[in-house]
Amino acid sequence: MTLTRVPVVGQQCHCRDNQDHFLARTFERLGLDDAQRQFLVHPFREVTMQIPLHVTAEEGEALCTFTAYRVQHNHARGPFKGGLRYHPEVNLEEMRALAQLMTWKTALANIPFGGAKGGIAVDPSELTLSELETLTKRFTQKLGILIGVHEDVPAPDVNTNPQVMAWIFEEYSKTHGYTPGIVTGKPLELGGAAGRLEATGYGAAFITMLVCESRSMALEGARVVIQGFGNVGSYTALRLAELGAKVIAVSDVYGGVTCDAGIDVQEAVTHVSDAGRLEGLAGTDALTNDELLALPCDILIPAALDGVINCDNEGSVRADIVVEAANMPVTHMADDALHDRGVLVVPDILANAGGVIVSYFEWAQNIQEFPWPRALALTRLEDCLRNAYERVAGGAARAGTSMRTAAYDQAVAAVLRAIELRGF
Ligand code: GLU
């Protein structure tokens, strides 16, 4: 298993500010009182854990302690659902904001889940595979009864993958019996769903296609720039290239590559799996991540971490459409500024919902012990995303708001309705 090295410097958590800002607007529009607001903002439950682990370093073996989190935001509409992220800058504030984002994402997609997020403050590329396995299994032990098929169902997120999910499944099954439905995003051999690995990227590309259709703009030949070439960025690029778009630049944590005639995305994937980075891809020129975000293009897709488009660099964005394949890649101030100058921003809770939607399919298949073919999963994914897109685009057009405002209004209203029906 390879886990991509992640940037350690220069990252800041913009998530909390963003959530507060987007929600405040929605709360006003829906006319919510103070108690309702408090209930919707604060998590149902949050846990912080310390995980000890002996780590082999150059100087010999050392005992390290890693801080881990699980924040369960809301489960009015179904079990808590959301990824586990392994990144040195994981912290409680970020987990709270991302857990809440999952609540709105699952509500908007109309799948029967709530929202959660968790992770460990660790740089996984500094651990051996067996250290990572031990850390993951100890994390699972500490999560204990907080997770469950009908309680809380984790999934992959930044720097976690099907192998990490397999370890969680194994550890949980030791005490609960064979339970594939405890996590989604598993390897196919262990009850993973065909289509789950590529689902987030596939969904982001599908939403991009719907946006182009609505604007009577051809996706074929459209110039696309993608920041991030991990699971989400690479599958978004592959699918968009398949649909005829011209991917003119992509980047990873080390920097980007560009080719005005269009990058051969499949070749880029092969190059990354051989060289470990995009740098040096034949037929391309190198550029920095900052230069990449400022390239003139039709569609810009941030597909890595949060806050990459912010008030410092928003003015240099020269795309007509920004599709948020990552969670919260555009800060709220940049979002307002882009909206004011007519750039369409397709919000994360719609653009990257493909992952959690196919997670839902995987969970349903595990419970029924009846796998679906990939084609069926992808058709159902498209139906689900088209439905959400039409509701959001229609709502935004009717109310004259941004797509984000319309998406938040609908998601929050759905969660509130479930809470009211169940009773406080
Ligand atoms: N981590 C993904 C997200 O942020 C997927 C979550 C899931 O499948 O539960 O949407």
**Probe ligand 1: pick from 157, 186, 381, max atoms within 8 Å of CB?**
157
262-292 pLDDT tens trace: 999 999 999 999 999 999 999 999 999 999 9
Mean confidence (pLDDT) of the chain? 95
What pTM was computed for the model?
0.95
Q: Is 82 in the pocket of ligand 1 (CB under 6 A)?
A: yes
- pLDDT, residue 13, reads 58
All CATH 3.40.50.10860 domain ranges in the chain, comma separated: 2-17+44-190
> 321 - beta bridge partners?
299, 344
pLDDT band at 18 (very low <50, low <70, confident <90, very high): confident
Expressed in angstroms and rounded, the spacing between residue 185 Cα and the centre of ligand 1 is 9
67-114 pLDDT tens trace: 999 999 999 999 999 999 999 999 999 999 999 999 999 999 999 999
117 given a catalytic annotation: yes
Q: Is 160 in the pocket of ligand 1 (CB under 6 A)?
A: no
192-239 pLDDT tens trace: 999 999 999 999 999 999 999 999 999 999 999 999 999 999 999 999
Q: Is 355 in the pocket of ligand 1 (CB under 6 A)?
A: yes
Structure-token pair, residue 381: 């994914």
Q: For residue 30, count CB atoms less than 10 angstroms from its CB and return exposed for 0-12, middle for 13-18, buried for 19 or more.
A: middle
Helix, strand, or coil (residue 118): strand
307-359 pLDDT tens trace: 999 999 999 999 999 999 999 999 999 999 999 999 999 999 999 999 999 99
Q: Which CATH superfamily is domain 199-351 in?
A: NAD(P)-binding Rossmann-like Domain (3.40.50.720)
Catalytic site residue from 117, 137, 142, 246? 117
| Pair 340, 318: CB distance under 8 Å | no
> What is the CATH class of 2-17+44-190?
alpha beta
Residues 6+ apart with CB under 8 A from 222: 212, 245, 246, 298, 299
Expressed in angstroms and rounded, the spacing between residue 158 Cα and the centre of ligand 1 is 10
Helix spans in 91-230 (H): 92-109, 129-143, 162-176, 196-214
107-118 pLDDT tens trace: 999 999 999 999
